[in-house]
């Protein structure tokens, strides 16, 4: 275990979980992406439907799917082309490691790369 890297935060973080505690990882994600998109009822329905349909990661076929990934088009592309980003047919269930690996390979810089 180690202490969260955010100054003054006493939370302990397991080795391999990143340098920030859960609360600070969540805060950093909100600052990067904003909470608005991922906290809507439409996105919650999308996530629930995708994970219900794909309970096991469609990439590795082993781990539990915990991320509803927009695929084959990203959420940005769906919105820009006028398609519904909350349609479960536009998503797939992935485990977090597969999602992170796919995103790092296909979207370097993430959403900020387009701004």
Q: pLDDT of 64-95, one tens digit each?
A: 999 999 999 988 888 889 999 999 999 999 99
Q: Where are the domains of the chain?
A: 2-33, 41-110
| Alpha carbons within 13 A on the beta-carbon side of 68 | 21
Q: pLDDT of 37-72, one tens digit each?
A: 777 889 999 999 999 999 999 999 999 999 999 999
User: Against a cut of 0.85, is the pTM above it?
Assistant: no
By the 10 Å C-beta count (0-12 exposed, 13-18 middle, 19+ buried), 78 is classed as middle
């Amino acid at each position: 275990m180690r202490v969260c890297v955010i100054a003054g935060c006493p939370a302990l973080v397991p080795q391999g979980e990143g340098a920030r505690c859960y609360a600070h990882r969540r805060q950093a994600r909100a600052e990067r992406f904003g909470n608005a998109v991922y906290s809507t009822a439409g996105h919650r329905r999308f996530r629930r439907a995708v994970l219900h349909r794909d309970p096991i990661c469609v990439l590795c076929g082993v781990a539990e799917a915990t991320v509803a990934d927009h695929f084959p088009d990203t959420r940005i592309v769906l919105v820009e082309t006028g398609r519904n980003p909350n349609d479960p047919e536009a998503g797939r269930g992935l485990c977090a490691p597969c999602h992170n690996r796919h995103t790092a390979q296909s979207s370097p810089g993430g959403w900020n790369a387009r701004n």
